[in-house]
Chains A and B, each alone.
Chain A
Amino acid sequence: MNSRILQFSAHFILIIGVLIMVVPIWIAFASSTHENTAIITEGMKWGIGDKFFENYNEVLNRKGGFSQEITATSMFINSFIMAFGIATVKVIISAMSAYAIVYFRFRLATPIFWLIFITLLVPLEVRILPSYQIVSDLNLTNSYTGLVLPLVASATATFFFRQFYMSVPDELLEAAKLDGANSWKFFVDFLLPLSKTMIAAMFIFMFVYGYSQYLWPLIMTTDEKYWTVVMGMKIIFQESYEGGNLPRVAERFSYIILSMIPPVLVVVVLQRWFIKGLIQTEK
């Protein structure tokens, strides 16, 4: 009896949690399928309307910006390139630097690690001017390289990889050495496959991090061709006010829903490995 109450209340709390997360998304989605005027006069919608294709088509294909040449689609592509680039390079660099710190016992390895670690205290926003200066000196403004490169060093990921590598038993390295694996082979044949789940998790976090970058692309890009989704969100709002017409609320909702898709996709694709790693203890 007692356990039933407990179970019921536990589920009750969980359901509330789920509702808190899902309801706003649902409202955004439902509203995005209605006519603009309907939302402005009647408020947000709970039910699905009949303007799904019109709204989404408008968002994806309408040309906007000062030049009237960019579309939301191009911003999605930019954001994806930026997030994918940041996540991929971040994972590679942190895995390699952690490998160096843990396995190549050079002097100062520990101080160097802590030096990397304290960069956590200096987020991009704090060093944005010097970063901008460097990137602009290198003539990398308005380029994908410039969007990605300053964000690829990651203390967090280095830290996680370091912790993981330190938990790999030494015998594995020794056995591999006897089997003729050099340091590159040990990294590729052992550490990378062993940290598959770790890589998936890091990739997810870093992708979302890269995807949601706002300030950096805003400063970096003057050319509309390189605008990203998160910047675009602001621009779309602005335009709808300055356009003199009614705010295009329904399309904004469509835009928000669309902008959630890439990170959600990444999570959905990678979580299979993620969960596999949690239930399989192979280390």
Chain B
Amino acid sequence: MSFLELENVTKIYPNGTKAVDETSLSISEGELMVFVGPSGCGKSTLLRMIAGLEDITDGEIKLDNRVINKVDPSERDIAMVFQNYALYPHMNVFKNLSYGLKNKGESKEEIEKKVNEVAELLEIKEFLQRKPGQLSGGQRQRVAMGRAIVRNPKAFLFDEPLSNLDAKLRGQVRIEIKKLQKQMGVTSVFVTHDQVEAMTLGDRLAVINEGVIEQVGSPIDVYEKPATHFVAEFIGTPQMNFIDGNIKSNKFVSKGFDCPLNIDLNNQEVIFGLRPENLKINPNGNITIKVDLIEKLGADSIIYGYDKSNNYICYRENGNTHLKSNDEITLAIDDGCYHIFDKETKKRLN
């Protein structure tokens, strides 16, 4: 059942910039939806429209069958976690958590009970009397989460809440958020530009580019079957290799190499995409590259090189590679593991 629904939502700023263009999306109850995209793609604007911090130029947003376009942010039954947490610096943690409840006019006992419950859940009980300035980054993050949870909203909105944490903490908090969200079963929207966060957190992803949703799907679907050239480029590290070429009688032909295809396509100009892990060293392969650069990551090695027509190809090998710069290697493409995009429309063809 759709719980949070966007219908042709459009945002045009007074200066004429179109930040979000006729976006429709439905998010079911308890689902964690991730908006992912490069900075300036409109994902935050979309989130802020759901929160009510940004006017909606056109379209409709429904939460639990209620149109909330014109509803005051505080009455939308939505809680938001901000990128820099936006904790109230002059209030201690208890007051930070209780401020919203107090404004709702709840009784003192009720507030105390709710705050204590949340503080216990997030293990921030011992900090209740401290001010945000006296907390570490991770603790502040918890308080920010707590402030959202304590209001018991119908939906959580997260605006890049992990980007201010250091790498190690980010991983931890990511897992905590996921657990907490599942445990509480609250519909959530999470905005990030970090694809690892997007892949690991989301039940589904919405990949957004220039105000348009390019693809919606489960992380694995998006990874394995990117719907557009942009999605293929954006999701996956190292990036997918793209080679310009043509389809000629069921064969991909480029200046550097050819590849037979087992699907039926018209002869046309295309962009051919290959994930680095779908290439294997094989003397009978079709791509020959001259190694230029090697990145050893421990578990994997990433090898970059030029093919015959100077396309920069990246390939991933398990473990520690023995290759060196200027070695010449031949790579074969895993069976069927290629992505073909129309050169004009950039849409997926296979």
Interface residues in chain A, defined as those with a beta carbon under 8 Å from any beta carbon in chain B = 169, 171-172, 174-181, 185, 189-190, 193-194, 196, 280-283
Chain B residues positioned under 8 Å from A185 (CB to CB): 103
Interface contact A180-B100, CB-CB below 8 Å: yes
A282 to B90, CA, bound (A): 7
**B202 → chain A closest CB, angstroms:** 23
Interface contact A194-B89, CB-CB below 8 Å: yes
Stretch in B78-86, B166-174, B322-330 with 4+ CB within 8 Å of A: B78-86
A171 to B100, CA, bound (A): 15
Per-residue CB proximity of B98-133 to A under 8 Å, as 1/0? 011001100000000000000000000000000111
Interface contact B103-A178, CB-CB below 8 Å: no
Interface contact B100-A179, CB-CB below 8 Å: yes
Interface contact A175-B82, CB-CB below 8 Å: yes
Per-residue CB proximity of B58-92 to A under 8 Å, as 1/0? 00000000000000011100111011101111100
A179 to B102, CA, bound (A): 9
Top 9 nearest A-B pairs (CB, nearest first) are A180-B74, A179-B100, A180-B103, A171-B86, A175-B86, A193-B90, A282-B89, A282-B133, A171-B82
Excluding A179-B74, A196-B90, 8 further A-B contacts by CB distance (< 8 Å) are A172-B86, A176-B88, A179-B151, A190-B88, A194-B89, A282-B89, A282-B90, A282-B132
**B158 → chain A closest CB, angstroms:** 13
- For A181, give the chain B residue with the smallest CB separation: B103
Interface contact A174-B131, CB-CB below 8 Å: no
A181 to B83, CA, bound (A): 20
Chain A residues positioned under 8 Å from B103 (CB to CB): 179-181, 185
Given known A-B contacts A281-B133, A282-B133, A177 and B88 have beta carbons under 8 A apart: no
Chain A residues positioned under 8 Å from B88 (CB to CB): 172, 175-176, 190
Chain B residues positioned under 8 Å from A282 (CB to CB): 89-90, 131-133
Interchain CB contact (< 8 A) of A175 among B78, B80, B131: B80
Chain B residues positioned under 8 Å from A171 (CB to CB): 82-84, 86
User: In which size bucket is the chain B interface?
Assistant: 20 to 34
Per-residue CB proximity of B123-152 to A under 8 Å, as 1/0? 000000001110000000000000100010
Interface contact B133-A178, CB-CB below 8 Å: no
Q: Residue B349 at the A interface, CB < 8 A?
A: no
Interface contact B100-A178, CB-CB below 8 Å: yes
Q: Residue B247 at the A interface, CB < 8 A?
A: no
Which one of B53, B78, B89, B100 has the highest number of Cβ atoms from chain A below 10 Å of its Cβ? B89
Given known A-B contacts A179-B103, A180-B100, A174 and B86 have beta carbons under 8 A apart: yes
Interface contact A178-B90, CB-CB below 8 Å: no
Q: Residue B302 at the A interface, CB < 8 A?
A: no
Instruction: State the main secondary structure of chain A at its contact with B.
Output: helix
Chain B residues positioned under 8 Å from A174 (CB to CB): 51, 53, 73, 80, 82, 86
- For A194, give the chain B residue with the smallest CB separation: B90
Chain A residues positioned under 8 Å from B52 (CB to CB): 177-178
A132 to B133, CA, bound (A): 50
Per-residue CB proximity of B3-39 to A under 8 Å, as 1/0? 0000000000000000000000000000000000000
**A16 → chain B closest CB, angstroms:** 38
A189 to B96, CA, bound (A): 12
- For B134, give the chain A residue with the smallest CB separation: A282
- For A196, give the chain B residue with the smallest CB separation: B90
Interchain CB contact (< 8 A) of A169 among B84, B99, B147: B84
**B243 → chain A closest CB, angstroms:** 44
Interchain CB contact (< 8 A) of A178 among B73, B84, B87: B73
Given known A-B contacts A169-B84, A179-B103, A181-B103, A280 and B78 have beta carbons under 8 A apart: no
Which one of A174, A179, A193 has the highest number of Cβ atoms from chain B below 10 Å of its Cβ? A179
Interface contact A178-B131, CB-CB below 8 Å: no
Chain B residues positioned under 8 Å from A178 (CB to CB): 51-53, 73-74, 78-80, 100
Interchain CB contact (< 8 A) of B53 among A172, A177, A179: A177
A117 to B133, CA, bound (A): 34
